Amino acid sequence: MSSRWLETRRDISEALNRLPAALFLSWSDTRARYKRSMLGPFWLTLGTAIGVGGLGFVWSTLFKMDKATFIPLLSVGLILWGFIAGIVTESSQLFVQNAQIIRNLRIPLFFYPIKLVLRHLINLAHNAVVIVIVFLIYPPHWHPGILLAIPGFLLVVLNLIWMSLFIGMFAARYRDTETAITNFMPLLFFMSPVLFKAEQLGIGAWVVWLNPFSYFISVVRDPLLNFPTPSFVWPVAIGMAILGWAITLWMFNSRRTRIPYWI
Amino acid sequence: MARLVFENVSVRYPIYNARAQSLRHQFMRIATGGRIAAEAGHTVSVTALDEVSFELNSGDSIGLIGHNGAGKSTLLRTMAGIYTQDSGRIIREGRIATVLEIGSGMDPELSGYENILRMGMLMGMSLKEARSKIPEIEEFTELGDFLNLPVRTYSSGMTMRLMFAVGTSFQPEILLVDEMFGTGDAGFQEKAKARMHDLIANAEIFVFASHDHVMLGNLCSSVYELKHGKMTHLPDFHTKILEQSEQ
């Protein structure tokens, strides 16, 4: 085994050892952001609640949809989208934003994607309050399959970690990646089944499945709301995780030591 | 026992211009076979360290001098393991602390206390360990109630005090300090000096880059000059300082 690979493995294991620190720092980042506000991080919850409430009411009326189906669909979809898009967009700043720390303290580089994902998990936990409220108003159909949402969610997180590291490295080297991502995200939003179910598009549904994020929403939301999941969704999501991790680890291994010079 | 050994270490530094950092230009270069965006591929490479060799053992305190851009910061970062060498071998034994750039790792919105915990945890302490350092840091920095205020309200000297106190609080075995340390007032410089003497007395390694020859003379037992990525020992540095101060 080459010494380079040993170093890479050490970087990753040291980063995982610092999980408590990552959690503490992401929590302190979240608090710092809402430092001088009364509600603190619950502004996130309130903002999401307003969004879901407003959009849910307007669109269900506009599209003449049943509120009991549409509002849970929209709230879970929007919150998941916020989680995914937040990580993907901010990953383009992953190393660039932490340049000062990277150039001055010796911290494993794998620490940064972990910290970013943790911070968004904290945000998601705040937003999940909205889902709970929605479920209290429109109770879901309880069935054993609902538990599939948990492995589904873990699979999404696993995918998002490699994406974050991949985008972070790429964006550190090529600075216009950030602009490219911010420009593409709205397009991907409309190509993802946040506001509708993929099958509602009928024959055009394939457009949705071109978007990798559609799979992420599907593996979590479908079991949660008792929708049927198309048979190819799970294999594709698992395949993405395997292939993505393989490519990202290869890239991280060969280019890791260059990152401090790029930023 | 702390040890830091460099054997023929070279560090080459790619410098990317705006074009090389542009994805669009890279695409253009590939698509046009390099005819249109010919410049895009050019990244200048600077040799910051050229076959540097030395051996530092417990109790060594060395100073680094050299012009701006001579490679002092690069050398400190390579010692710390932030930059990886292109060739050569480095042996590092001992816990390393760095005080390189002012305010790095601090969140200006958070209070001094919160930043102590943040920095401590970034440096690999547990929350409990970091908490236990607070009284000592309070005492050393003499910042008093300012520690309850956000760090953005601090002057650069105050930020420096806090950084230095946190950086040295977990008894590093190898301490690497860059320039900017001059921002503190006289009282702080005395305290910092005392702490560094303690560290050196505890048989640790201390490397200090500075333009302040008097301070280098006071703190370091030997001084090296960096020039074009080469390191040379200045055996008569201390006698020269003496002569200058007598004049």
Q: Pick from B209, B176, B177: which is nearest to B94 by CA?
A: B176
Cβ–Cβ < 8 Å for B98, B176: yes
Of A21, A28, A106, the CB nearest to B80: A106
**Chain B partners within 8 Å of A31 (Cβ):** 110
Higher pLDDT, A212 or B173: A212
Confidence at residue B36, expressed as pLDDT on a 0 to 100 scale: 53
Confidence at residue A87, expressed as pLDDT on a 0 to 100 scale: 95
As a whole number, mean pLDDT of residues B184-194 equals 76
Higher pLDDT, A113 or B66: A113
Q: Which two tokens stand for residue A3?
A: 């010494």
Using CA atoms, how far apart are residues A38 and A27, in angstroms rounded to an integer? 17
Confidence at residue A114, expressed as pLDDT on a 0 to 100 scale: 95
Contacts of B230-238 with C-beta under 8 Å, sequence gap 24+, read B230/B50, B230/B51, B230/B52, B231/B52, B231/B54, B231/B75, B234/B65, B237/B63, B237/B213
Q: How confident is the model at residue B72 (pLDDT cuts 50, 70, 90)?
A: confident
Higher pLDDT, A102 or A157: A157
Q: How confident is the model at residue A115 (pLDDT cuts 50, 70, 90)?
A: very high
Confidence at residue A157, expressed as pLDDT on a 0 to 100 scale: 96
Confidence at residue B41, expressed as pLDDT on a 0 to 100 scale: 53
Q: Does B246 have pLDDT greater than 70? A: no
**pLDDT tens digits, A123-136:** 999 899 999 999 99
Query: Would you call A175 and B22 a contact, using CB atoms and an 8 Å cutoff?
Result: yes
**pLDDT tens digits, B192-235:** 778 777 777 776 888 988 888 877 887 888 889 888 888 888 88
Q: What angle do CA B148, B153, B155 make, to 5 degrees?
A: 115
Cβ–Cβ < 8 Å for B107, A32: yes
Residue A117 host element (H or E): helix A111-137
Of B17-31, B100-114, B197-211, least confident by mean pLDDT is B17-31
Cβ–Cβ < 8 Å for A168, A113: yes
Query: Would you call A107 and B14 a contact, using CB atoms and an 8 Å cutoff?
Result: no
Nearest CA in chain B to A106: B82
Total number of domains in chain A: 1
Using CA atoms, how far apart are residues A241 and A155, in angstroms rounded to an integer? 8
Confidence at residue B73, expressed as pLDDT on a 0 to 100 scale: 86
Chain A residues 124-183 with CB within 8 Å of chain B: 173-177, 180
As a whole number, mean pLDDT of residues A250-256 equals 91
- Residue of B84, B152, B176 to mutate when probing chain A, most A C-beta within 10 A: B84
As a whole number, mean pLDDT of residues B10-29 equals 76
Confidence at residue A175, expressed as pLDDT on a 0 to 100 scale: 86
By residue range, what is the domain housing residue A115? Answer: 3-262
- Within an 8 Å CB–CB cutoff, is residue A255 touching chain B? no
Beta strands at B205-209 and B96-99: parallel, antiparallel or unpaired: unpaired
Of A25, A103, A107, the CB nearest to B77: A103
Query: Would you call A104 and B100 a contact, using CB atoms and an 8 Å cutoff?
Result: yes
Distance from CA of B202 to the nearest CA of A (A): 23
**pLDDT tens digits, A216-229:** 999 999 999 888 88
Confidence at residue B99, expressed as pLDDT on a 0 to 100 scale: 81
Total-model pTM: 0.87
Using CA atoms, how far apart are residues A81 and B67, in angstroms rounded to an integer? 52
- Within an 8 Å CB–CB cutoff, is residue A25 touching chain B? yes
* HSE (side-chain half, CA atoms, 13 Å) at B20: 12
Nearest CA in chain A to B175: A105
Of A2-6, B73-77, B239-243, least confident by mean pLDDT is B239-243
Distance from CA of A144 to the nearest CA of B (A): 40
Q: Does A248 have pLDDT greater than 70? A: yes
Of B98, B121, B127, the CB nearest to A104: B98
Query: Would you call A101 and B21 a contact, using CB atoms and an 8 Å cutoff?
Result: no
Task: Give DSSP secondary structure letters for chain B.
Answer: --EEEEEEEEEEEEE--TTTT-HHHHHHHHHTTTSSSGGGG--EEEEEEEEEEEEEETT-EEEEE--TTSSHHHHHHHHHTSSPPSEEEEEEES-EEEE-STTTT--TTSBHHHHHHHHHHHTT--HHHHHHTHHHHHHHH--GGGGGSBGGGS-HHHHHHHHHHHHHHT--SEEEEEGGGGGS-HHHHHHHHHHHHHHHHTT-EEEEE-S-HHHHHHH-SEEEEEETTEEEEETTHHHHHHHHHH-
Query: Would you call B23 and A180 a contact, using CB atoms and an 8 Å cutoff?
Result: yes
- Within an 8 Å CB–CB cutoff, is residue A106 touching chain B? yes
Query: Would you call B107 and A29 a contact, using CB atoms and an 8 Å cutoff?
Result: yes
As a whole number, mean pLDDT of residues A9-20 equals 90
Query: Would you call B110 and A32 a contact, using CB atoms and an 8 Å cutoff?
Result: yes
Q: Pick from A216, A177, A164: which is nearest to A26 by CA?
A: A164
> Which letter does DSSP use for residue A108 in this model?
-
Confidence at residue B35, expressed as pLDDT on a 0 to 100 scale: 56
Of A33, A105, A260, the CB nearest to B104: A105
Query: Would you call B118 and A28 a contact, using CB atoms and an 8 Å cutoff?
Result: yes
Of A21, A176, A260, the CB nearest to B83: A260
Q: Does B38 have pLDDT greater than 60? A: no
Using CA atoms, how far apart are residues B6 and A164, in angstroms rounded to an integer? 35
> Residue A182: which residues within 8 A CB-CB, separation 6 or more?
A89, A92
